[in-house]
């Protein structure tokens, strides 16, 4: 059905659902006080750290950070898209999902996509029919038999045949000008306007349909049967196919396993299909591009282990370096990446036939772990038994480890580097900061940029990748100005959930005096994050801050931008609770931004906020945590930070400006801006 899902329908549906019922029907929950707990379904653990709050209609895992509302849980647990998850939950409540009326342009674009899907499905059927009935079918059949592929596996993967000739598909499917236009848009026909030629893109090739995770045909890969070039040909970028994000064989792998044990990334279509014939159904392949972060993000939605399989030659090693580089930003705790190098001249298709599936799987299990391959790759050409070699090794490795997402794995990698080099962690951090200050933080391996993502039907704000989304903390001097916050100190267990970000601790350790370092531990979070946490736990606090536009003005300040968005939606929808907010955020700003928002909500909601609001009969009422005062004070401190930031920027401009080229009025304006906060009472 066309159109977006109205936000008010999602809100109403969430109001009718109980997240405890939704989660308990999939993961058995146990009552623990006012909440429920279980072992987290999103990572392996023996002690339950997964908590569900019926009051807030929210879940959070203190082990891996998974969090969200009922809708987010169904999306992550059952690996459904946003609309699919809404449809699934709507059925539980007996509701029919409505759709908003789209603009004429939107409706036309969606209708065109649906028509392209339909024609691509017909093209798939056409190619499979040609493999069975075309007069030249023996060319394709003999090739497949020589490769050892059986009919059952070929059918499961939809293998087909594009016969020789320039217009076989054109004559079969293009019945009118609209069909021709759609086949061109879908990448199946090539139109040379100047020469007024229109012909099939795929000719005399074995055809492999590429499916998305819903099983729809979105493109094709073709392996040539003659001497034509290129040897392998893929569909171009189209409205429905984006090869920088898709993995061939992922749909079939999900069908083969209820729980995917891993994904094995190989280089060719025939490798994927042949491995499946031998019972190894978790093979996937990139589509003519190096494996990038988008591929890995997609792979890790369905499994916690990705194994890259390459030839052992120079080209294979180069490809492995690119995969290693792409993996750095995705290695959160609980994820595993390995590298399997085959004997030179072998590929998965030929090797599995020689040694059998059992030995091949044993090779996969013994593949080189991410950490070993990273250190081996960095050490290439170095003698790390010498002091000079270890010094170079440290300078190469430390910046790469700095890119790893914060967590246990990152800390263990730094510990391993310290062991290998004999340098302690503080020295390694100084190396990183020195290279950052000199602008020497260059990647060891170069990865080609991924193609731009297409526009989605749900509007999203495109922000930088996770490693660029760190909280931007003010300098310690600003914190000093605020004192020790004695009237606001939260319960004793609060610090466990709001430890200072590591980036801030590093800045403190290097930029300020030792006597100030000891004081830094008192400040549990910057004001903007504190304001966000309070708003998510007590949405009515938005009534105290009427101006959200102030925080939306500077889109480079991601902290304030998130605060402005949160205030805006609470001003527009004052009835929203946390569950509504998470659902709204996922639909408008996408999964990555929702995870960030939910992480703040998860920490504050499930432990700290509950402790803050516990009644304490043994103490006077004035000792209770005053959320309104805390929020107002956080906002006031945030404004002071913003003023100091503007002052610093003005002073920098004044310092760098060529005063001789400015008029007296311009000079006076710069001085007034630089001293603005100092002359205010």
SS3 (DSSP) at 24: helix
Query: What pLDDT score does 439 carry?
Result: 59
Distance CA 674, CA 678 (A): 9
Q: Quick one: residue 666, left, alpha or beta (phi over 0 = left, psi -120 to 50 = alpha)?
A: alpha
- The answer to whether 97 touches 86, Cβ cutoff 8 Å, is yes
Buried/exposed 532-559: b ≥16 CB within 10 Å, e otherwise: bbbbbbbbebbeebeebeebbeeeebbb
617: which 2 tokens? 């009969």
C-alpha dihedral (454, 456, 461, 466), degrees to nearest 10: -70
- The answer to whether 610 touches 79, Cβ cutoff 8 Å, is no
SS3 (DSSP) at 282: coil
Alpha helices in 79-227 (DSSP H): 82-93, 104-133, 137-146, 151-156, 168-173, 177-185
Distance CA 246, CA 416 (A): 34
Of the candidates 206, 353, 214, 223, the one whose C-alpha atom is nearest the C-alpha of residue 279 is 353
- The answer to whether 582 touches 598, Cβ cutoff 8 Å, is yes
Of the candidates 438, 393, 382, the one whose C-alpha atom is nearest the C-alpha of residue 418 is 393
Could you identify the residue written with the tokens 């267990």?
493
581: which 2 tokens? 């907010």
- The answer to whether 527 touches 635, Cβ cutoff 8 Å, is yes
Give the number of other Cβ atoms within 10 Å of residue 513's Cβ: 9
Q: Which residues neighbour 572 within 8 Å (Cβ) at sequence distance 6 or greater?
A: none
322: which 2 tokens? 């690119």
Query: What pLDDT score does 677 carry?
Result: 45
Query: What pLDDT score does 625 carry?
Result: 64
SS3 (DSSP) at 634: helix
Q: Which residues neighbour 637 within 8 Å (Cβ) at sequence distance 6 or greater?
A: 482, 527
Query: What pLDDT score does 127 carry?
Result: 96
Q: What are phi and psi of 263, to 5 degrees?
A: -125, 130
354: which 2 tokens? 């020689």
- As separate numbers, helices (DSSP H) first and strands (DSSP E) second, the chain gives 30, 16
Burial degree of 163 (CB within 10 A; 0-12, 13-18, 19+): buried
Give the number of other Cβ atoms within 10 Å of residue 208's Cβ: 26
Segments of 528-655 assigned E as strands: none
**Dihedral sign, CA of 226, 231, 232, 238?**
negative
> What one-character DSSP code corresponds to residue 544?
G
Query: Mean pLDDT in each 10-residue stretch from start to end of the chain (681 residues)?
Result: 73 85 90 88 87 88 85 86 87 82 77 92 96 93 92 94 94 93 95 87 95 90 85 91 91 87 92 95 88 89 91 81 91 92 88 94 93 90 85 86 90 89 78 66 45 36 32 31 31 34 37 35 65 86 85 78 88 82 78 78 52 49 68 86 76 61 65 52 42
Query: What pLDDT score does 670 carry?
Result: 61
249: which 2 tokens? 């064989």
């Amino acid at each position: 059905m066309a159109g977006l899902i109205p936000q008010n329908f999602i809100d109403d549906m969430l109001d009718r659902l109980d997240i405890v019922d939704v989660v308990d029907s999939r993961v058995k929950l146990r009552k623990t006080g006012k909440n429920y707990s279980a072992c987290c379904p999103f990572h392996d653990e023996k002690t339950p750290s997964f908590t569900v709050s019926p009051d807030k209609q929210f879940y959070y895992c203190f082990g891996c950070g998974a969090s969200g509302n009922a809708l987010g849980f169904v999306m992550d647990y059952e690996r459904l898209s946003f609309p699919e998850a809404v449809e699934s939950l709507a059925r539980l409540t007996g509701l029919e999902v409505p759709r908003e009326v789209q603009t004429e342009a939107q409706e036309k674009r969606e209708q065109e996509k649906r028509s392209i899907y339909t024609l691509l499905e017909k093209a798939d059927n056409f190619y499979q029919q040609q493999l069975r009935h075309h007069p030249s079918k023996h060319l394709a059949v003999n090739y497949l038999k020589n490769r050892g592929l059986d009919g059952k596996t070929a059918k499961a993967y939809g293998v087909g045949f594009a016969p020789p000739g320039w217009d076989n598909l054109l004559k079969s499917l293009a019945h009118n000008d609209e069909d021709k236009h759609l086949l061109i848009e879908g990448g199946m026909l090539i139109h040379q306007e100047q020469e007024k030629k229109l012909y099939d893109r795929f000719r005399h090739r074995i055809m492999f349909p590429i499916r998305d995770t819903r099983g729809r045909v979105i493109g094709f890969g073709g392996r040539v049967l003659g001497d034509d070039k290129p040897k392998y040909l893929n569909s171009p970028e189209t409205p429905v196919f984006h090869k920088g994000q898709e993995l061939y064989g992922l749909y079939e792998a999900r069908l083969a396993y209820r729980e995917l044990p891993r994904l094995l990334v190989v280089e060719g279509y025939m490798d994927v299909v042949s491995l499946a014939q031998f019972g190894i159904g978790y093979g996937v392949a990139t589509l003519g591009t190096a494996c990038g972060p988008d591929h890995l993000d997609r792979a890790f939605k369905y499994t916690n282990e990705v194994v890259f399989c390459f030839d052992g030659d120079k080209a294979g090693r180069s490809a492995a370096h690119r995969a290693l580089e792409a993996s750095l930003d995705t290695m959160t705790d609980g994820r595993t990446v390995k590298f399997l190098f085959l004997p030179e001249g072998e590929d998965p298709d030929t090797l599995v036939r020689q040694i059998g599936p059992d030995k091949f799987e044993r090779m996969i299990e013994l593949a080189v772990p991410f950490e070993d391959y990273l250190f081996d790759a960095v050490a290439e050409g170095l003698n790390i038994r010498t002091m000079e070699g270890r010094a170079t090794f440290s300078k190469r490795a430390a910046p790469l480890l700095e890119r790893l997402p914060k967590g246990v794995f990152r800390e263990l990698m730094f510990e391993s580097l310290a062991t290998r080099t004999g340098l302690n962690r503080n020295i390694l951090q100084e190396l990183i900061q020195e290279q950052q200050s000199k602008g020497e933080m260059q990647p060891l391996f170069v990865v080609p940029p991924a193609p731009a993502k297409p526009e989605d039907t749900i509007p999203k704000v495109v922000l930088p990748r996770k490693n660029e989304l760190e909280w931007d903390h003010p300098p310690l001097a600003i914190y000093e100005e605020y004192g020790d916050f004695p009237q606001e100190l939260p319960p004793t267990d609060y610090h466990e959930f709001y430890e200072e970000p590591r980036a801030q601790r590093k800045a403190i350790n290097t930029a300020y005096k030792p006597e100030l370092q000891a004081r830094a531990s008192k400040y549990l979070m910057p004001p903007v994050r504190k304001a966000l946490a309070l708003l998510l736990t007590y949405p009515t606090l938005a009534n105290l801050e009427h101006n959200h536009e102030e925080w939306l003005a500077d889109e480079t300040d991601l902290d304030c931008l998130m605060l402005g968005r949160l205030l805006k939606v609470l001003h527009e929808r004052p009835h929203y609770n946390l569950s509504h907010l998470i659902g709204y955020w996922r639909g408008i700003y996408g999964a990555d931004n929702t995870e960030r928002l939910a992480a703040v909500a998860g920490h504050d909601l499930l432990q700290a906020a509950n402790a803050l609001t516990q009644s304490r009969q043994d103490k006077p009422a004035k000792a209770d945590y005053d959320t309104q005062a805390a929020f107002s004070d956080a906002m006031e401190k945030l404004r002071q930070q913003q003023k100091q930031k503007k002052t610093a920027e003005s002073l920098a401009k004044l310092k760098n400006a060529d005063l001789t080229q400015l008029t007296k009025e311009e000079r006076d304006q710069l001085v007034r801006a630089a001293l603005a906060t100092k002359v205010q009472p």
